[in-house]
Amino acid sequence: MPKIAMDVVVLENKHLSDDVKELIVYAPDIAKQAMPGQFVHLKVIKSEPLLRRPISIASVDEAKGTLSLIYRIVGKGTAAIADLKAENQVNCLGPLGHGFDLTCKRPLLIGGGMGIAPLIFLAQRLCPATTSILMGGRNKAELFWQKRYEGLVNEIFITTDDGSLGVKGFTVTLLPELLKTKQYDRIFVCGPEIMMAGVAKIAQSHGVACQVSLEKHMACGLGACLSCTCESKDGSKRKKVCKDGPVFWAQEVF
């Protein structure tokens, strides 16, 4: 199925926390094609900002034909997206990139910060009885995601930097113990690069296959501008995060 660039209608754009919002757009053609781990490239239909902004797909409702895009307001681009109101239009290019490999039986999802968003869509496509999630954040206020995962996962583990919720520390603090006591056959991780590198290392030492989802500044999203390429660690050519990824096997990039 071809990729699509089209003006789509905003149904909702609401705050989930002070600086995190959820944009819901009506885009049935993209919703039908999208796979967990893919993203859309949004262009606010006014002159500024000039470039598109890549936003991961947080969930899909195929019946309603909608996409949920959860984003943190960090700069001018996301601020412009945050200004969108219901019934406004936004240009949506996608779905782009390669998503997660779903051929596993007992996956552990690991999300840090905004990396928790695309894992919702992933959990939607996995079996709730055998899927667990480990989520980490700076504090309790950042971890407002539990409700989103109700019915999608079997177990939720939480870490916070300040100990205000769950285990004090980082996801990598808790991970070795989880891998020792549970029988996971796959790890999917999305979050800050340093966290993903740490998770990848622990996964490897426990012999668990691991996929990571990278984030980079990008212009075209189609593999042409080469803004987002990264070195590959498996001896192959440089990887394009937008097109070869954003999801990679950990050993390809770490």
Partner 1 sequence: MKQNSRLATEIAGIKMKTPVMTASGTFGFGEEFSEFVDLNQIGAIVVKGTTLKPRSGNTGVRIAETPSGMLNCIGLENPGIEYFLTDILPRISHYDAPIIVNISGSSVEEYGILAKKLDIPEIAAIELNISCPNVKEGGIIFGTDPLSAAAVVKEAKKNTKKPVIAKLSPNVTDIVVMAKAVEEAGADVISMINTLLGMAININSWKPVLGNVTGGLSGPAVKPIALRMVWQVAQAVHIPIIGMGGIMKAEDAIEFFLAGASAVAVGTANFVNPSAAEDVAKGIIKYLEKKNVEHISQLVGQLKCN
Q: How far apart are CA 254 and CA 72, in angstroms?
A: 26
The smaller minimum CB distance to partner 1, of residues 206 and 216, is found at 216
* 4 assigned ligand-binding residue: no
The smaller minimum CB distance to partner 1, of residues 6 and 86, is found at 6
Under rule CB under 8 A, residue 207 binds partner 1? no
Sign of the dihedral through C-alpha 108, 93, 142, 250: positive
Under rule CB under 8 A, residue 227 binds partner 1? yes
Is residue 89 classed as helix, strand or coil in its secondary structure? strand
State the nearest-atom distance from the C-beta of 4 to partner 1, in Å: 9
Q: Which of 141, 51, 131 is nearest to 93 (CA)?
A: 51
State the nearest-atom distance from the C-beta of 13 to partner 1, in Å: 21
Site for partner 1 in 32-71 (CB under 8 A): 43, 47-52
Q: How far apart are CA 69 and CA 61, in angstroms?
A: 12
DSSP annotation of 151 reads T
Residue 118's Cβ-side half-sphere holds a number of Cα atoms within 13 Å equal to 26
Q: How far apart are CA 208 and CA 179, in angstroms?
A: 9
Under rule CB under 8 A, residue 223 binds partner 1? yes
State the nearest-atom distance from the C-beta of 93 to partner 1, in Å: 7
Residues that bind partner 1 (CB under 8 A): 2-3, 5, 43, 47-52, 76-77, 93, 217-220, 222-229, 231, 237-238, 243
**Residues annotated in the binding site, as ranges?**
53-56, 70-72, 77-78, 220, 225, 228, 242
